């Protein structure tokens, strides 16, 4: 059981009901001014973006192996078994490494606050029922955003694309990007045109760090032995002269 | 300018910097990061990370390189520069931690990594290493203080356990100097290709060793002037040779990597990044070529200027990695606010002032008592840290 979201840009009419439901659910202010902002921020966790006649949604992609959770020095971000990537504000010390690491620039900061926290979409993790849907899915009257099991959503996406092949760009965004995401996107044009970076790594990003970080214990142990050994070799002369000096001074036989 | 008026000039500058820093610090903590910095969601790390952290830790690398040179490799000739290098490193790390308190959104939680673990995080590892290594530096510097207050028994006891402390210091430094580069491994798609490479940790480590040497030369020059001592010209000359080799290995690795991954093609792309890249390479490689020639190593002034060039090249490299390399993908042209600059300058000013104070009140440069040399005769093989041989 792992919750996922499918967003279908071809069905989206840009009504912004998803934004409104999200803000209301998270007790964030929502008005015309906020609605006009086409980017996520600490007071807007999902944004509908306009690209001429088309729309796209920006929200946390809930990566299967998220960079943000791997880089956090205090494990304030966590990919839960239920699907969402959630934030534990009581742990956060505000280093903002998650914001640097996220290839989608999703985690947002309360820059205006004296004691700021990160804000991000948590896929309505507060709705814990196994069949619960997110607020944005609930608010969507056009099935442009739906909630479900990831493998089921992939099937639905494939079916929609097979039924109307001319309407879709033949690819599901989120299957392989950064090792897979829990938010999947299908659209009528290449994803780059809708603000989804197309050149992202296909492997999970934490692997890039682990390639180096895994050697920390080896460097510590091998390094300590090596340096101790070097010290032993380089200080041999002092040791010899000490023994000889002691022998000569005290006139001890042998 | 006479020596006295130069002193008054720098004292005025120092107090102006401190005043600006205090005002900026108040704004940062009272009005928040948004009101006092040019940071944003798209550009969350500025000069407090790019300079204060990346450069601050790097410039303090002389501490572990000289501790290893003298106490592990047993090259005794370098003993006179160990104490200043350890002091620089200790102050450097303390100031890095102070600077981090300005950058962290909730600085009072800086202890969280002690109890809230995430071993997959490079920042977690860096945090632990910096904390442990600052403790190591404290212990490595402590003999100087004990000597000043004539606590010889305590000093001897401490020196009895110095070998594992020195080894721990070198290992911890190796780990976090390289890990500062590993911090950026997670963003292969966000950094400019001229700087992103899987070799970042090794390159960070090599350049830290180089800049540790350069900083030691820089300090020796300035201390010689400030305390009217003669420059340890033989040592300084020897270090320039080491510097040439370290920079050569660094560029051999960096060059091979750029060729093999065809990253050099990014040089032909339009944009200002390539010019900053070339500036960095010129400043770092220039001293290597300069010090290759014997005549350059005859003049203390040339040695000093070459080291300053390398330090500036190192700083350019870290600023390019921490700031420049993110500008293309984020579309942000970051320039620090005056508050960010003021706090960074305050850290630099504090570093110089405390170093000066410590050097005039503690036995950092002068050779110390004869008895120490005899006292340690009983424990050969144990490094006597930060000590100069009695004359």
Give the pLDDT confidence of A117-169 residue by residue, as tens digits: 999 999 999 999 988 999 999 999 999 999 999 999 999 999 999 999 999 99
So what's the pLDDT on residue A249?
Answer: 58
> Which of A10-14, A85-89, B282-286, B377-381 has the lowest average pLDDT?
B377-381
Nearest-neighbour CA in chain A from B384: distance (Å): 12
Residue A165, both tokens? 């092949």
What is the Cα–Cα distance from B5 to A246, expressed in whole angstroms? Answer: 57
Those residues with Cβ within 8 angstroms of residue B67's Cβ, 6 or more apart along the chain or in another chain? B82, B85, B86, B140, B166, B169, B170, B385
Q: How far is B376 from chain A (nearest CA, A)?
A: 11
Fold of A3-205: Alpha-Beta Plaits (3.30.70)
Among A71, A75, A93, select the one facing B122 at the smallest CB separation.
Answer: A71
Q: Which residues pair with A185 in a beta bridge?
A: A7, A173
The crossing angle, in degrees rounded to 10, of helices B82-103 and B200-226 is 120
Residue A219: which of B39, B121, B174 has the nearest Cβ?
B174
Beta-bridge partner residues of A119: A108
Closest-CA residue of chain A to B28:
A114
List the 156-195 stretch of B: residues with Cβ below 8 A of A: 163, 167-168, 170-171, 174-175, 178-179, 182-183, 185-190
pLDDT at A23: 97
Strand A77-79 and strand A85-87: the pairing is: antiparallel
* Nearest chain B CA: its distance from A206 CA (Å): 6
CA distance B52 to B131: 16
DSSP string, A36-85: H--S-BTTBS-EEEEETTEEEEE----BSS-HHHHH-TT--EEE-TTS-E
Of B104, B122, B125, nearest to A93 by CB-CB distance is B104
Quick check: B372 pLDDT over 90? no
Superfamily grouping for domain B43-363: Formate dehydrogenase/DMSO reductase domain (1.20.1630.10)
Q: Mean pLDDT over residues B67-83, rounded?
A: 93
Stretch 234-293 of chain B: residues touching chain A, C-beta under 8 Å: none
How many other C-beta atoms lie within 10 A of the C-beta of residue A218? 9
Q: What b/e string do you get for A19-45 counting C-beta neighbours within 10 Å, with b at 16 or more? A: bbbbbebbebebeeebeeeeebbbbbb
Inter-chain contact A209–B182, Cβ cutoff 8 Å? yes
What are the chain A neighbours of B110 within 8 Å (beta carbons)? 93
Q: What is the separation of C-alpha B158 from the centre of its chain, rounded to a whole number of angstroms?
A: 26
Tell me the C-alpha distance between B65 and B215, whole Å: 11
Q: Which positions in chain B touch A115 (Cβ < 8 Å)?
A: 105-106
Measured CA to CA, the distance from residue B281 to residue B301 in angstroms comes to: 22
Of all residues in chain B, the one with the smallest CA distance to A94 is B105
Phi-psi group of B30: left, alpha or beta (phi > 0 → left; psi -120 to 50 → alpha; rest → beta):
alpha
Percent of chain B with pLDDT over 90: 81
Q: Is B121 exposed, middle or buried (0-12, 13-18, 19+ CB in 10 A)?
A: buried
Chain A nearest-CA distance from B103, in A, is 7
Q: Which residue of B has its CA nearest to A99?
A: B44
The minimum CA-CA distance between B124 and chain A, rounded to whole Å, is: 4
Q: Which of B336, B290, B347 shows the shortest CA–CA distance to B313? A: B290
Partner residue opposite B106 with nearest CB, options A93, A105, A200: A93
- Say yes or no for a CB contact (<8 Å) between A94 and B106: yes
Report residue B278 as tokens.
């070339």
Quote the CA–CA distance of A136 and A5 in Å, as a whole number. 10
Q: Smallest Cα–Cα separation from B321: which of B201, B151, B181, B144? A: B181
Set of chain A residues whose Cβ sits within 8 Å of the Cβ of B72: 227, 230-231, 234
pLDDT score at B224: 85
The 8-class DSSP code of residue A222 comes to H
Asked if A70 lies within 8 A of B31 by C-beta distance, the reply is no
Band of the pLDDT at B231, cuts 50, 70, 90? confident
- Ordered by start, the domain boundaries in chain A are 3-205, 215-250
The kind and range of the H/E element at A33 are: helix A32-36
> Is the predicted pLDDT of residue B364 greater than 80, yes or no?
yes
Q: What is the pLDDT of residues B115-172, one digit of tens each?
A: 999 999 999 999 999 999 999 999 999 999 999 999 999 999 998 999 999 999 999 9
* Average pLDDT of span B57-70: 95
Mean of pLDDT values over B342-358: 95
Q: Measured between beta carbons, which residues in chain B are less than 8 angstroms from residue A78?
A: none
Per-window interface: B 57-76 vs A, CB < 8 A: 68, 71-74
Is residue A158 a contact partner of residue A149, using CB atoms and an 8 Å limit? no
Strand partners, A146: A6
What DSSP designation does A4 have? Answer: E
**Cα–Cα–Cα angle for B365, B368, B370, rounded to 5 degrees:** 155
Q: A-chain residues within 8 Å CB-CB of B174?
A: 219, 223
The domain segmentation of chain B, as residue ranges, is 43-363
Chain B contact set for A238 (CB, 8 A): 380-381
Query: Do residue A239 and residue B186 have CB atoms under 8 angstroms apart?
Result: no
Q: Is B128 on the interface with A (CB under 8 A)?
A: no
- Confidence at residue B366, expressed as pLDDT on a 0 to 100 scale: 65
Helix/strand/coil (H/E/C) assignment for every residue in chain B = CCHHHHHHHHHHHHHHHHHHHHHHHHHHHHHCHHHHCCCCCCCCCCHHHHHHHHHHHHHCCHHHHHHHHHHHCCCHHHHHHHHHHHHHHHHHHHHHHHHHHHHCCCHHHCCHHHHCCCCCCHHHHHHHHHHHHHHHHHHHHHHHHHHHCCCHHHHHHHHHCHHHHHHHHHHHHHHHHHHHHHCCCCCCCCCCCCCCCCCHHHHHHHHHHHHHHHHHHHHHHHHHHHCCCCCCHHHHHHHHHHHHHHHHHHHHHHHHHHHHCCHHHHHHCCCCHHHHHHHHHHHHHHHHHHHHCHHHHCCHHHHHHHHHHHHHHHHHHHHHHHCHHHHHHHCCCCCCCHHHHHHHHHHHHHHHHHHHHHHHHCCCCCCCCHHHHHHHHHCCCCCCCCCCCCC
Give the tens place of pLDDT for each residue, B254-285. 999 999 999 999 999 999 999 999 999 999 99
Say whether pLDDT at B2 is over 90. Answer: no
Query: Can you say whether residue B368 is alpha, beta or left, with left for phi > 0 and alpha for psi between -120 and 50 degrees?
Result: beta
Alpha carbon distances (Å) from B250 to A238, B255, B260:
34, 8, 16
For residue A145, give the DSSP letter.
Answer: E
Each residue's pLDDT tens digit, B282-309 = 999 999 999 999 899 888 999 999 999 9
- CB atoms near residue B265 (< 10 Å): 11
Q: Which residue of B has its CA nearest to A220?
A: B171
pLDDT in tens, A29-64: 999 999 999 999 999 999 999 999 999 999 999 999
């Amino acid at each position: 059981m792992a919750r996922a979201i499918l967003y279908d840009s071809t069905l989206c009419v840009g009504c912004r009901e998803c934004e409104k439901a999200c803000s209301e659910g998270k007790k964030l202010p929502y008005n015309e001014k906020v609605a006009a902002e086409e980017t996520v921020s600490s007071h807007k966790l999902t944004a509908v973006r306009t690209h001429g006649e088309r729309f796209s949604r920006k929200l946390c992609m809930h990566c299967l192996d998220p960079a943000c959770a791997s880089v956090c020095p205090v494990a304030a971000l966590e990919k839960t078994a239920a699907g969402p990537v959630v934030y534990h504000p009581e742990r956060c010390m505000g280093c903002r490494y998650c914001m640097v690491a996220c290839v989608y620039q999703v985690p947002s900061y309360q820059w205006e606050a004296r004691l700021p926290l990160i804000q991000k979409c948590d896929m309505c993790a507060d709705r814990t029922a196994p069949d619960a849907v997110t607020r944005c899915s609930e608010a969507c009257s056009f099935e442009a955003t739906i909630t479900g099991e990831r493998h089921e959503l992939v099937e639905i996406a494939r079916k929609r694309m097979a039924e109307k092949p001319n309407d879709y760009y033949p690819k599901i965004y989120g299957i392989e990007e950064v090792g897979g995401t829990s938010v999947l996107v299908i659209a009528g044009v290449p994803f780059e045109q809708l603000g989804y970076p197309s050149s992202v790594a296909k492997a999970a990003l934490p692997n890039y760090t682990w390639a180096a970080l895994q050697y920390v214990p080896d460097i510590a142990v091998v390094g300590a032995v090596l340096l101790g050994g070097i010290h032993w070799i380089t200080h041999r002369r002092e040791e010899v002269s000490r023994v000889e000096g002691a022998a000569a001074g005290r006139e001890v036989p042998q | 300018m006479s020596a006295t008026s130069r002193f008054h000039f720098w004292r005025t500058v120092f107090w102006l910097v401190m005043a600006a820093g205090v005002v900026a610090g108040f704004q940062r903590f009272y009005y928040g990061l948004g009101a006092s910095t040019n940071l944003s969601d798209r550009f969350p790390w500025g000069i407090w990370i790019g300079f204060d952290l990346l450069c601050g830790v790097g410039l303090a690398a002389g501490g572990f390189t000289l501790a290893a040179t003298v106490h592990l490799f047993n090259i005794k000739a370098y003993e006179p520069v160990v104490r200043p290098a350890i002091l620089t490193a200790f102050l450097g790390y303390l100031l890095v931690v102070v600077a981090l308190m300005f950058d962290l959104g909730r600085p009072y939680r800086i202890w969280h990594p002690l109890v809230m673990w995430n071993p997959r995080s490079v920042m977690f590892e860096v945090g632990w290493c910096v904390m442990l290594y600052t403790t190591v530096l404290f212990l490595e510097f402590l003999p100087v203080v004990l000597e000043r207050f004539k606590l010889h028994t305590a000093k001897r006891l401490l020196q009895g356990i110095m070998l594992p402390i020195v080894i721990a210091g070198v290992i911890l430094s190796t780990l976090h100097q390289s890990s500062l580069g590993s911090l950026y491994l997670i963003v292969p798609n966000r950094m400019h290709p001229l700087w992103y490479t899987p070799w970042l940790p090794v390159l960070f480590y090599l350049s830290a060793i180089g800049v540790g040497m350069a900083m030691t030369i820089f300090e020796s020059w300035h201390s010689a002037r400030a305390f009217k001592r003669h420059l340890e010209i033989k040592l300084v000359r020897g270090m320039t040779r080491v510097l040439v080799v370290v920079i050569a290995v660094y560029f051999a690795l960096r060059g091979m990597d750029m060729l093999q991954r065809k990253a050099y093609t990014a040089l032909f792309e339009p944009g200002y990044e390539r010019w900053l890249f070339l500036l960095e390479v010129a400043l770092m490689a220039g001293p290597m070529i300069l010090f290759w020639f014997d005549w350059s190593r005859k003049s203390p002034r040339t040695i000093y200027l070459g080291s300053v060039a390398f330090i500036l090249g190192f700083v350019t490299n870290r600023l390019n990695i921490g700031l420049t390399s993110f500008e293309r993908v984020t579309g942000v042209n970051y320039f620090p606010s005056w508050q960010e600059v003021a706090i960074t300058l305050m850290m630099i000013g504090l570093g110089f002032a405390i170093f000066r104070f410590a050097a005039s009140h503690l036995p950092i440069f002068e050779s110390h008592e004869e008895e120490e040399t005899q006292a340690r005769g009983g424990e050969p093989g144990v490094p006597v840290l930060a000590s100069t041989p009695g004359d």
